[in-house]
Amino acid sequence: AGLALMPQEESFPLFSTVSNTALWVFVFGATNLIGRYQFNTLQRYFPNLENSKKRRWSNSLTHVIHALLSSSGGIFMYMEASKAIEEEDGSIEKLALMQSQFRMELGYYIFDTIADLLDIKYSGLSFVKFGFVLHHAVPLVGLPLGMAWHHQRGKIWLDMITSCLFAVNLTTPLQEFRWMLDALKCSPTRLIYRLNFFTFLVTFFVFRILVNIHLFKLYRKYHLPLDTPLWKVLVVIPKICATSTIILLGINLFWFSIHLKRLPKVLGHKKRQ
């Protein structure tokens, strides 16, 4: 556990940051190739698996691997940060593993952007594909800035909040697995489909919606009187944080409502004529 903690350093490790990020780009690229091989193997047992879904299948496998790494790293770092704060260890200013997490995330988004651009090259541009590329611009710019800021001014309680944001990726494997089941022509009323769907709904609601309440409590714990109403936290925090929180919460509520529309289909209810 001690490997996860470190004091402040003086110089930013540029070489190791670039080399480790490049290594992660390679790892996710290799994962994508494994996904293509896996797809070809599955076609032998599932003849209905359309060849046009090969690129999407390999990308899904890459998304799953990234999400598992991101969410497990986030949960682990949250526990480490909580332990350091509870023990009031003043020598621990920030988490060393946060830099490693940043590098992994940056490597993933670089690869995923390249994959999206190649998809546009071979399949043509669409509004949805353009949106995927555009939304990658935020982490591609924000992660390097976050690494530099964390190295110079990182704080253990901020690491705890950041780790929560990584943990929300726990919902992605379940979402991608549902797409894979759809690609395999699995009926929504099958037990495996239903278990995955309801687990996804609960996980999405907890990690992408209720997590905001937990983040507000964390901010109040270190900056405000404990009797401060949670809604006032949104007023007190920096405007950019408040705005981004409202936008992300709105987006997650929108997607949660979209996922809920699948509920009648999963329950086996037929549409009224």
218-272 tens-digit pLDDT? 888 878 888 888 888 888 887 877 888 888 888 889 989 999 999 998 988 665 5
| H helix or E strand, kind and range, residue 6 | strand 5-6
Q: What is the pLDDT of residue 46?
A: 87
User: Contact, 39 vs 49, CB < 8 A?
Assistant: yes
Tokens standing for residue 89: 């260890």
Residue 4 has pLDDT above 60, yes or no: no
Q: Over range 37-54, report the average pLDDT.
A: 88
d(CA 10, CA 29) in angstroms, rounded, equals 33
Tokens standing for residue 59: 């990308």
Residue 154 has pLDDT above 80, yes or no: no
* Overall pTM surpassing 0.75 (yes/no): yes
Task: Round to the nearest angstrom and report the end-to-end CA distance of the chain.
Answer: 60
Q: What is the pLDDT of residue 180?
A: 93
Q: What is the pLDDT of residue 235?
A: 86
Between the CA of residue 90 and those of 86, 87, 112, 173, what are the distances in Å? 11, 9, 39, 37
Sorted by sequence, the CB contacts under 8 Å of residue 248 that are 6+ apart come out as none
168-214 tens-digit pLDDT? 999 999 999 999 999 999 999 999 999 999 999 999 999 999 998 88
The alpha helices in the chain, defined as continuous H runs, are 14-45, 54-86, 97-123, 127-135, 137-153, 156-167, 171-183, 191-205, 211-223, 230-236, 239-260, 263-267
Between the CA of residue 45 and those of 38, 39, 56, what are the distances in Å? 11, 10, 19
Q: Half-sphere exposure of residue 42, counting CA atoms within 13 Å on the CB side?
A: 19
Residues of the chain above pLDDT 90, percent: 42
